[in-house]
Structure 1
Amino acid sequence: MSDTSGTKKSSRRAASRSSRLSLLIAVSASALLSVAGPAHSAPVKDPLPADIPDYQAALDAVKSTEVRNTVCNFLRTPVPTDSADGPVQTIPETAEPCQGLPAFTIKDPVALNEITPEFVAGTAKPLPTDAIKLTQLVSSLSATVNGRNATVMLAPTQGGGWHLAAVRDGDHDAAYASKATLGTLVFTEPQIRGWYQLKLTTVEPLNDQARQGLGGQASVSLGDYQKLVKARYADKLPGSEYDTTGYSSGYNLQQTQDDTPSSTLLLAGSSSAALVLAGGAVVLRRRRRASTH
């Protein structure tokens, strides 16, 4: 009789431990996802995107005729191969920019997260909510167009909403950003173009640059990762001597633009092109490689 009673008590204790563990996992995952908040309720096949402010505005932007026409202009314009300091020329406007191009759609945007300057400086705690920040949204195309793909980048608009910030060659940003799953975050270390996945408080590399950034390790704690980026960039933040003396642009998040696209397209020479909104104009130029030296 006592054995039966003991077995029942043991079973209850095991069940209790299992319940507490499940609760802990659920709470931890919830804390991680609180960087972005609750997921959208719209039914989709893939994991729901993190809660993005004014997400409907972002959807409206990437589905708009204006953004599609800009992408078409980008895709039908040959990518310059000369120096980024070369002359700038106007891209002729066409009445139907997408006419004659293969059919494509622009996918729903996903979050592009970056490490925060406070995390880099070491003034923020190594917690997901303090270490990672949503800076832009990125969308790729449903298909290649004449052998090219592109990434549409949206920036937050002051007062709410999103607007087109750039169109870039290739789809790497969107491809990596889309690897986020329920319970994980994906973020970039833009200075080395490293992409990482954050699982609770464990950082894992997603590309070669990130693996090099972790010194070849398969994973590190968020606290150890903070030590690595602090050593790399803490003396290179905006306002530092490294920044103000002109050695680089410093470490900085993407700048928010309040301007809307103009109808004037400008083309600058480059070997790696990005169609960028600058002061209301759309400029095709080479993507800068941020230096840490």
Structure 2
Amino acid sequence: MHEARTSSKRSASRRSLVTTVLGLSATALLSVAGPARAAAPMDPLPADIPDYRAALDLVRSADVHNTVCRFLSVPVPQGDGVGTPQPIPDKADPCEGMPAFTVNDPLALNEITPGFVAGTSLPIPTEAVKLSYLVSALNAPVNGRNATVMLAPTQGGGWHLAAVREGDSDATFAGRATAGTLVFAEPQIRGWYQLKLTTVEPLNDQARQGLDGQSAVSLSDYQKLVKARYADKLPGSEYDTAGMSSGYGIVKNTEDASSSTPALVGGSSAAVALAGGAIALRRRRNTNG
């Protein structure tokens, strides 16, 4: 009887161990597949965004706040082309006369990887998509305008301010990631997609066009589509050297711009890009849809 009871206890213990291991495995899988979002109150920092505390400190800093104010202090240049640079007013207090605002916590902006586009990487989430930027929209419009702060990873760790953009579409789409799904961009067409396991679904009109009107495709089929579109647009190609491979049109050449006199350059949908110590505004495609 003693042996029977002992055997029964051992079997129950094994079942409990197996259940625990399966539960932990499922949790780990969701953690890997899930989006880079704010965690529960007991653990407020997303585990899958490196140096997230540094990113939080940056978007809450006076420097970033003042840069946003400078961006919002100049009307968005109109027209489809690049116009004459407009100097940004050099005020002691860039936010003087503006309504109070804050910058929201950063969200992950994921993009398709060069290897996935080239077809050299497997059509699996960890090789198809990578974290490229962090984006933070304002908590509320300022004088009828919204803006998005973009952070780029710094070599050796941490983050730096890369741009301030008109509108909040990047952060809006990035915020649509849910537990067990991943949101990513195809920047060349400003397409936004949601990845559910290995199924790709469009989130805006550009993405629907990118899937040839289909409501969903497998990750493998999506890889075939982007490979056909961008096989000649990878790093080192003419498309890349023209500055368009990122899809954002961030200013690359600011040799003629003074680092002490930031300027805005035309476009009805625009972004302040920080390059070479100067700020310039460039037109970008609309992402609404």
Please, what TM-score do these two structures have when normalized by structure 2? 0.80
User: CA offsets, 1:170-214, max 9 Å, x none?
Assistant: 000000001111111100001111101111111111111111111
Question: What residue in structure 2 maps to residue 29 of structure 1?
Answer: 30
- The 5-angstrom pairing of residues 33-52 of structure 1 reads 33=34, 43=41, 49=46, 51-52=48-49
Question: What residue in structure 1 maps to residue 214 of structure 2?
Answer: 217
CA contact (8 A) 1:117 1:251 kept: no
Provide the C-alpha distance between the structure 2 equivalents of 1:210 and 1:50, rounded to a whole number of angstroms.
28
Deviation at 1:243, TM superposition (A): 3.2
Q: Alignment partner of 2:272: what SS?
A: strand
User: CA offsets, 1:103-129, max 9 Å, x none?
Assistant: 211000000000001000000000111
Counterpart check, 1:122 vs 2:119: yes
Provide the C-alpha distance between the structure 2 equivalents of 1:25 and 1:99, rounded to a whole number of angstroms.
51
CA contact (8 A) 1:79 1:273 kept: yes
Question: What residue in structure 2 maps to residue 11 of structure 1?
Answer: none
CA contact (8 A) 2:188 2:247 kept: no
Amino acid at match of 2:239: D
Distance 1:49 1:43, change over 3 A: same
Segments of 4+ moved more than 4 angstroms: 19-28, 39-42, 47-50, 252-255
Match of 2:245 among 251, 254, 264: 251
Aligned pair count reads 264
CA contact (8 A) 1:28 1:200 kept: no
Provide the C-alpha distance between the structure 1 equivalents of 2:22 and 2:222, rounded to a whole number of angstroms.
26
Provide the C-alpha distance between the structure 2 equivalents of 1:217 and 1:92, rounded to a whole number of angstroms.
48
CA contact (8 A) 1:132 1:187 kept: yes
Question: What residue in structure 2 maps to residue 172 of structure 1?
Answer: 169
Counterpart check, 1:158 vs 2:133: no
- The 5-angstrom pairing of residues 101-112 of structure 1 reads 101-112=98-109
Provide the C-alpha distance between the structure 1 equivalents of 2:24 and 2:89, rounded to a whole number of angstroms.
60
Provide the C-alpha distance between the structure 2 equivalents of 1:22 and 1:210, rounded to a whole number of angstroms.
35
CA contact (8 A) 2:190 2:247 kept: no
Match of 1:54 among 51, 55, 59: 51
Deviation at 1:263, TM superposition (A): 5.1
Amino acid at match of 1:111: A
Deviation at 1:84, TM superposition (A): 4.0
Provide the C-alpha distance between the structure 2 equivalents of 1:27 and 1:137, rounded to a whole number of angstroms.
23
Provide the C-alpha distance between the structure 1 equivalents of 2:110 and 2:278, rounded to a whole number of angstroms.
26
Provide the C-alpha distance between the structure 2 equivalents of 1:187 and 1:129, rounded to a whole number of angstroms.
12
Deviation at 1:52, TM superposition (A): 1.0
Question: What residue in structure 1 maps to residue 185 of structure 2?
Answer: 188
Match of 2:63 among 63, 66, 78: 66
Amino acid at match of 2:93: E
Q: Alignment partner of 1:68: what SS?
A: helix
Match of 2:264 among 239, 264, 267: 267
Distance 1:213 1:136, change over 3 A: same
CA contact (8 A) 1:114 1:253 kept: no
Deviation at 1:27, TM superposition (A): 5.8
Structure 1 unaligned regions, length at least 5: 1-14
Deviation at 1:91, TM superposition (A): 1.5
Match of 1:145 among 136, 139, 142: 142
Q: Alignment partner of 2:155: what SS?
A: coil
Identity %: 66
Q: Alignment partner of 2:121: what SS?
A: coil
Distance 1:81 1:40, change over 3 A: closer
CA contact (8 A) 1:49 1:111 kept: no
Provide the C-alpha distance between the structure 2 equivalents of 1:108 and 1:274, rounded to a whole number of angstroms.
19
Please, what TM-score do these two structures have when normalized by structure 1? 0.79
